[in-house]
Structure 1
Amino acid sequence: MVYIRPAKALRDGTEFIFKTSAQLKERHHMEQITGLPGISEERLKEVEAELGFSLPSELRAYFKKENKFEAGEWQFHPIKDEQYIKRTWEDIVRVNSTDLEDYPDGFFRIATDGSGDELGYLLPDAETIVLWDHEEQELFPVAPTLVAFLEQEQQLLDSAMQSIGSFGTRLSSTRRSIHFMSRSQIN
């Protein structure tokens, strides 16, 4: 049995909570459209030749739909596209060709959260999504597949949205009560 933890669980085990409801609403939709078209089969084969192995099938399927996508706070590394060089400079080949000594052997990085943590696969396992925790310098399995990871991230966001919604409702009714009390205290 493999222990699966949310990709962004805090050290004490609590789930990551967004600071503001606006930030949460902004990130509510998991896959953010970036305007970059998907990658051709020919280009995918070129990238696989550069990497020296085939891309995991689920990741390959996403690249065919869109070259640059996000899931919650995770920005997936794109495939370099000369037409969009500025937006694809930190591509998946470049990322996995640099700083190799900082990561475990076989760790194929596919996404970053901007804080130093990375998501990827520990090859040859091209199914399980693992988290590289840069502070603990360890890998943790977070989902059995990429699709499961994306669904898990969506569920976390949906749950947080519901919490924010019920908090907003309680806050509104508390404000009405306070407003009513202050008006009645005046009379």
Structure 2
Amino acid sequence: MAGRKLKVFKAQFGFYDTVVAAPSQAAALRAWGTHQNLFASGEAKITTDEAAVAAAIAHPETPLRRAVGSSDPFALEPSSLPKVPETPKKPTAKPAAKPKPAEPKKPPADRSKLDAAEAALKTLDERRKREEADFRREHEELEQREAGAQRAYVDARKAATAKVVKARTDYRAAGGDE
């Protein structure tokens, strides 16, 4: 961790503002425990708040929290609670409106075609995976055959070349010239 430059990222989760010091956005998302790209949606960003940066750098890749709207320091376990706005007062009672007639309930949608289509897709995907495994196995076997044929060729060529060299030497020794 010592060699990597850390950036401090900020996001809000529920009633808490959070910061985390991480080398990248992906590392920050992992530290927060989310797979959703909060940076793309604008829900997370780099922060330059000095207090937040100092706290986060002291605990790399560990999310620190504080209550939303609070100026308390960021901490592993914040001590303050979020400020909850007061609930508005209930309006005075108005005369009861006539209830709307109940809408007829729709029967649940028939899912059988969707289930059949999903099953067909799953079967197709599984068959393709088996085909790809067969192709890989055949490819490996073919590569092994090719390597064996290449070794046999090299060995046979060496033997044939040795015979040519010996025959040429014998021919010259017998008085022949090339």
- Please classify the TM superposition score into its range, dividing by the shorter chain length: under 0.3
Query: Which entry has the higher C-alpha Rg, 1 or 2?
Result: 2
1 or 2 for the larger relative contact order (CA 8 Å, sep ≥6)? 1
TM-score (norm 1): 0.23
